[in-house]
Structure 1
Amino acid sequence: MKIAFAGKGGSGKTTLSALFTRYLAGAGLPAVAIDADINQHLGAALGVPPSELAGVAPLGSHIDEIKEVLRGDNPRIASAGEMVKTTPPGRGSRLLDLSPDNPIHRRFGHRTDGATLMLTGPFGEDDLGVACYHSKVGAAELYLNHLVDGPGEYVVVDMTAGADSFASGLFTRFDVTFLVAEPTLRGVGVYRQYAEYARDHGVTIKVIGNKVQGPDDVEFLREHVGEALDVCLGQSAFVRAMEKGRHPDFGELEEDSVKALARMRDTVDGTVKDWAKFTRQSVEFHLRNARAWADDATGADLGAQVDPEFVMGPQALTGRPVAP
């Protein structure tokens, strides 16, 4: 399952992304964590030392290399230069799974406590004034477009704060989006904004109430987000230690927090995976991008990249090309 953690800055989405990743990996489940936030803090939240993070190759700085891997021998894609962040896979594309032979994980992944961490990369000095952060996140979108995740496999993405993920089809790549909201008007306002943007696209949004201090806070959230409220988390000494740069053994996490994480996993596991919709939305946003800017930018008819007989999913893996 593909899971996004979204919310306003400071809501705690990075901390919860890390906790959920550690919870899954601690249960022995295949888990990938992707830091797609412009502020790259997920690695630190997972307890990876700065010296190790410095050696992790960022996805966003190697997007041409990633495109070359993913296009495989798809005859509809003439070159990696004609791929954009929304380019959908087709017959001949290099599809990915969570097995050890995943070439993107081998090249860009960093193992930490049983999970695989990947970074989109920071917004660097060379990007100032000439690029937007979507160019970095586009590498993660391509990865998700080509990933066939199976039962009991999880990809957790820490999204950039605010509504930037709606600048492309990235917000439709997830089976569940957890919107982390504090019990404040600003917190629930971000939820309403997300829900409005996603309303016509069948996106599952569940609210995690964070920094909740009592029943009044829970009632406030329920009043404003209704049945979307999935679980609430209160104050945590374990989380406070994380935020101070210490990383206690996961067994020290408070029982209430463990139960909340278990509830979140139940929500994810109870969501029906719809590969046909995943494929359809991938094509829809690719054609939008092609008409809006990508045809002109590449000098090619990117609509021709769509393989009308291809449906993403486990059955498509059988015809994938060999990894380079």
Structure 2
Amino acid sequence: MKAAFVGKGGSGKTTLSALFCRYLATRDADRVLAFDADINQHLAVALGADPGESERRPALGDHLEEIKEYLRGDNPRIASAAAMLKTTPPGPGSRLVRVGEANPLWDRLVTTAGGVRLAVTGPFAADDLGVACYHSKVGAVELLLNHMPGGPGEYAVVDMTAGADSFASGLFTRFDLTFLVCEPTVRSVAVYRQYIDYALDYGVRLAVVGNKVEDAEDVAFLREQVGADLLCWFGRSAFVRAAERGRFLPIDELEPANARALAELRTALDGCEPDWARYAEQAAEFHTRNALAWGNARAGADLTTQIEPGYTMAPATAAR
């Protein structure tokens, strides 16, 4: 199952992403894979990694051509890795990647932080400043999720960029469930409203997760503002405060109310049925947009022909 954490900057989405991944990993760490797709790249530290060490992790954005070459496999519709866009969908002959499998990409690009397997897009480098868009790095995550069939008991969890930046690519449509982290404030609710205005047109499943909730008045405010979208909420936490100061406690020492909220997140995600047809249609839509907008001109070819009609990653039809 694929999940994203989104929300206003400072709402705590990276903190909750880390808590959720640590919680899931206590059951089977090999079947959990976290992605840091936020420009700030703080997920490794939030999971318990040393700040200096986390900066030396291999970056997906630095290995985009290698990722393309592997995923291309022997798909006859893709002439070369150079012809692939971040939106190129899979088809017969493509290599698909699963969370818990062994493959050359995971061997090289996935490390561990706080007992959680983690892949990072990488920070801006000096050469990127003023000339590159961060979404070019996030494209590696989009490609991988495009080629990642999911299933019960497997979890890919992505810490996304803040606010509406998530909509700068088709990545926002790649999830079985999106958790929107919302503080009990007017500004945080405004981001929620902006997000649903965009997301609902694409059938994105969305659940609001309250954070920094201190009392019943905060809960009432969130219920009034987001209604039935409110799934659960997290209160102020001494456990989280300790982690912010570099002292990481075992996840089973999390406050009971906050631990129950993590369980609600997992139950909601496990209850989602992957909509393979919709995922394929949206992948084709965003690939067509990118091909027509700039990809065809760059490649000197019609890249919309990379789309295999009728292909989905549903277990009965997906090629491995």
Superposition TM-score tier, normalisation by shorter sequence: over 0.9
Counterpart residue identity of residue 6, structure 1: V
TM alignment of 1:119-268, pairs within 5 A: 119-268=120-269
**Which residues of 2 match residues 30-49 of structure 1 at below 5 A?**
30-49=31-50
Residue pair 1:179, 1:205 contacting (<8 A) in 2 also: yes
Distance 1:81 1:298 in 2: 8
CA RMSD of aligned residues (A): 1.3
SS in 2 for 1:211: strand
| Alpha-carbon distance in structure 2 between the residues aligned to 1:298 and 1:75 | 17
Q: CA, structure 1 residues 51+314, in 2 after alignment: closer, same or farther (shift >3 Å)?
A: farther
Moved segments of 4+, more than 4 Å:
none
Q: Deviations over 1:80-131 (max 9, x none)?
A: 1111111100111111112332332111001345431000000111101111
Partner residue, 2:3: 3
Query: Residues of 2 paired with 1:290 and 1:80: CA distance?
Result: 15
The SS at the match of 1:280 is: helix
Counterpart CA distance in 1 for 2:42 and 2:230 is: 26
**How far, CA to CA, are the matches of 2:308 and 2:194 in structure 1?**
33
Q: Deviations over 1:41-94 (max 9, x none)?
A: 000000122454244210011101111111111111111111111110011111
In 1, Cα distance between equivalents of 2:94 and 2:75: 5
Residue range with higher mean Cα deviation, 308-317 or 113-122 = 308-317
How far apart are the structure 2 equivalents of 1:33 and 1:226? 29
Q: Which residue of 1 aligns with 2:73?
A: 72
Q: TM-score, normalised by structure 1?
A: 0.95
1:89 partnered with 2:90: yes
Query: Contact 2:59 / 2:109 at 8 angstroms: preserved in 1?
Result: yes
Q: 1:14 is matched with which residue?
A: 14
For 1:12 and 1:157, the matched residues in 2 are separated by 14
- 1:283: which partner in 2? 284
Report if the CA contact (8 A) 2:99-2:156 is conserved. Answer: no
What CA deviation, in whole Å up to 9, does each residue of 1:133-160 have, x standing for no partner?
0100000000000011221110110001
Alpha-carbon distance between aligned partners in 1 of 2:210 and 2:100, rounded to the nearest angstrom: 34
- Counterpart of 1:257, as a letter, is N
Return the offset for 1:165.
1.7
Q: How many residues align?
A: 319
- 289-298 or 28-37, which moves further after superposition? 289-298
Distance 2:132 2:52 in 1: 27
Correspondence list, 1:302-321, <5 A: 302-317=303-318, 319-320=319-320
Q: Secondary structure of 1:219's match?
A: helix
CA apart distance, 1:309: 3.5
Q: Distance in 2 between matches of 1:258 and 1:78?
A: 49
Offset of residue 275 of structure 1: 1.1
Quick one: distance in 2 between partners of 1:220 and 1:67? 46
How far apart, in 2, do the equivalents of 1:298 and 1:193 lie?
35
Identity of aligned residues (%): 60
The whole-number CA distance in structure 1 between the counterparts of 2:103 and 2:228 is: 38
Structure 1 window deviating more from structure 2 (183-192 vs 162-171): it is 162-171
Report the Cα distance in structure 2 between the residues aligned to 1:16 and 1:133, rounded to whole angstroms. Answer: 23
Write the distance in 2 (CA, Å) between the matches of 1:209 and 1:173: 23
In 2, Cα distance between equivalents of 1:222 and 1:60: 39
- Cα contact 2:209–2:232 (8 A) shared by 1: yes
Partner secondary structure for residue 231 of structure 1: strand
Structure 1, unpaired ranges of 5+: none
Partner of 2:27: 27
What SS is found at the alignment partner of 1:21?
Answer: helix
